Structure 1
Amino acid sequence: MRFVDEAKIELVAGHGGDGCLSFRREKYIQYGGPNGGDGGDGGSIYLEAEADLNTLVDFRYKRLFRAKKGEHGKGAECTGKKGDDLIIKVPVGTVAFDLETEELLGDLTKAGQKVLVAKGGEHGLGNTHFKSSINRAPRRITKGTEGETRALRLELQVLADVGLLGLPNAGKSTFIRAVSAARPKVADYPFTTLHPNLGVVSIEVDRNFVIADIPGLIEGAAEGAGLGIRFLKHLSRTNLLLHIVDILPIDNTDPVENVIKITRELEKYNPELAARERWLVLNKVDLLPAEEQQQHAETIVNALNWQGRVFEISAISGQGCSELCYQIMQSMEDEESY
């Protein structure tokens, strides 16, 4: 299925039904009073998070959604039927904004969570409501009000505990394949990852976390280079970032400069995200002789003046991956204990 993480839709809630103008007409009753019933309320529109969905692709083909109108009132004080509410299923992690005002209408982070996005119109009153001691035969009713009309911008932000960050071909997809059941595409050319991939990493029974792999960034991503920064929003919910770096790039670029480039793009996109806890993961250490791995890693760390945690791994051979995942799990459990 095609991955779509943004969509625009239009909503029209149901109009309320009009009140009824009616009088009793019964044999042997000379002066039948007013008996016009109220109209029914218009149907409202809700978004509901659905665990089985993982893309907004359906909204590329259907963009207009209408709820049912309320029925008009009837004689004999019969109230019109309320219009059925419309419930639109969206993936867990969907955020809804009013397209015109940019107001946040809802952030659906749990399956079954529901949010009202367009309220149905109010019902009109029948002439029964306007009977009084001085007006025994009122000919007054009220009409139902219109339902809300709204345009929404939907964004899907994947839910993950850990996010992977780095240049194309740094080994992010290979790493997530090594530690989880996720099977993103892996190849020896840039941008093999075209959309976010999620993997569940299990340390042992009841000890697991979710990791997200997004397409790689390049210098100038904030200005739209490469795949731009469109997918960085998928890291906004993560608690920890793993900055994966190719320790010996095949294009002979400098790993230190590569880290600095990505850090700059992250800061341009969102300083808050850039300030989040980030671990440096030096990948492909198996390309170096064992006696040179530690020295090469220390050179990179010292040049960066890196203050966070550092790990040396080989995603393709599995070296260091288990220890890294264990440390991630431990860090998450320590956070929860506070």
Structure 2
Amino acid sequence: MEENMEYQLNLGAWNSVFVVPSILVDQHIKLAGAVQLKVILWVLRHAGESFSTDTIAQALSMHEADVKDCMQYWTETGIICLHEQMITPAAISEPVLVQKETTVAVPSAETESSSPDAKTEKESNNRKRALSRPEKPDMKYLTQRMNEDESIAFLMRSADEIFGRMTSNSDKETLLMIHEYDGLPVDVLIMLLQYALSVGKCNMRYIEKMAITWSDEDITTLQAAENKIKQLNLGRDAAKHIQRLFGLSDRSPSEKEKTLADLWINQWQLPDELIREAYEICINNNGKYVPQYIGTTLESWYSAGVTNVSQIKREEEPDKKTHKRKKKDGYQPSYNIEEYESTSVLDEEWDD
């Protein structure tokens, strides 16, 4: 009588498996960030179990806020559905093409060169923003655009790499809005992100504000962006130089101070002694540091062709005899501080 034989199929690591939806690989493997993929895989692996976002955060060594962002991403892209703390597969439906009224298609360089209407399209992209902020695209539309255009997906991955963290869904939506509404090409936008990192301002509010300025100034090529960044860096260096010259505390200068410093040093190329003299006059007359007052003084000297402090001393501190003679002859100095204070082009309102 033959002995019964028992067999066991040993698949090794494959003895324990879990299901991964095909759509996750087919449509999201290139689009989703590494952190987002980690979260959805962890969730799928623990199907049937109870867990919290804090549980996932601890298991993956992440911040809980990032886990919540990831869950929102998979919900808005139609992979999962969250209802009363229950995660279920999202209902299967045909993808819907979402078109925002405020969205403006940005033509590629190839399209611009071949299309007879390229000039018109470019002009529409370079228009200034309306006073009201445009509506940001939602995650569903962002995912659609990332599927349609590899450059959009590349922009989102680049943002994560530049900032060294997973950018939030809201930040990604803002980047898409900047690209499509303000007309900044992907390569220019990436250069803007790199600049923001270099100056320690990686918040999206600052990036969006800069992007609007670049769009208004028609900075839509890498060369134009490089020139703009060079100008910004010169302004920052000039502002730091002015701070050292005036003996001010090491703080971050305002946009007004950077603009004035760039004007005095890079454009007018005024010597340090002249700038320092204007500072001393400001302190003597006002008892405090007033950049606008110094700017008015320097503007009057620059317009009068004053290049050194000795010229100022000769005109402002004449001896009594010379002063009487000049007064008698109706002499007027080549510049008038009071007049410039009332008419200076630097007196306009500034936004820091």
TM-score calculated relative to the size of structure 1: 0.22
The structure richer in strand per residue is 1
Higher RCO (C-alpha under 8 Å, 6+ residues apart):
1
Larger helix proportion of the pair: 2
